Amino acid sequence: MKRLLPLYAFFTFTLLYAPLAVMALFSFNDSKFMRWTGFSTRWYGALLDDRRLQDALWDTVIIGAGTTFLSVALGTLIALPLTRVTFRGRKLYNTLVSLPLMIPDIALGIALLMFFTAVSAPLGRTTIIIAQSTFGLSYAALVIAARLEGFDRSLEEAALDLGATPWQTFWRVTFPLIRPGLIAAALLCFTLSFDDFVITYFTTGPGTSTIPVEIYGMVKKGISPKINALSTLLVAASLALLLASLRFTRPPLTGGTR
């Protein structure tokens, strides 16, 4: 059985990454069609000349930054009771925090669109940030809670015994120790925002677009190497952000060292 494990791994990773490899390969194809005619970077150059994509990238970055800030701020406030307070209904509280992760994106997108319509909120960057934060804060809360689980509470108690106020204790003791978790949560939330299509599609408005929405509009006109180039850059950026977030998800060391 052990001898078959490399074969299983080979087929599994081929299934996962072969489509991405083909997409990346044809992003360097000189031809517009799915027929290899030679190596070229012309399609990456074409992206630099596309003003519409540049505007979409700017919107994507602004929305990602707003979503990240809101998700991490609210996620921190949500994570603290999960790890530090014992109360009736704690399991229900934990379930409600995780629930947005289990709701289908299309159902959540429709619900958010109906909500914004009901309150007469103009669709645009603000509604997208709020919509993406509904699931971003759940991811942030779980990542930060995992960091807090291994936190040495005696360090806070020592600071309080030495005369520090609760606010000083948080900023000088708690915050530095959970900072890697906050950074990991921020990188993860930005990645999720950067890649989101379904919820963004339902909550966007005229004059606002993101890279995934632009790709969808381009695909309806037919697959081209330009789309392959843009998608390849999108995958590379997402991979870089995820790898960076993994750097900060290691559990904290207890005691006085890290």
Tell me the per-residue pLDDT of 182-224, one tens digit each, with 9 for 90 and over.
Answer: 888 998 899 899 889 999 999 998 888 888 888 888 887 776 7
Residue whose C-alpha is closest to residue 227's, from 235, 123, 173? 235
Cut 0.75: pTM above it: yes
Confidence (pLDDT) at 1: 64
Distance CA 252, CA 181 (A): 9
Confidence (pLDDT) at 65: 95
Confidence (pLDDT) at 122: 92
Which ranges of the chain have pLDDT less than 50?
252-258
Residue type, 220: K
Confidence (pLDDT) at 119: 93
Distance CA 42, CA 205 (A): 32
Confidence (pLDDT) at 253: 44
Confidence (pLDDT) at 250: 56
Contacts for 50 with CB less than 8 Å, ≥ 6 apart: 226
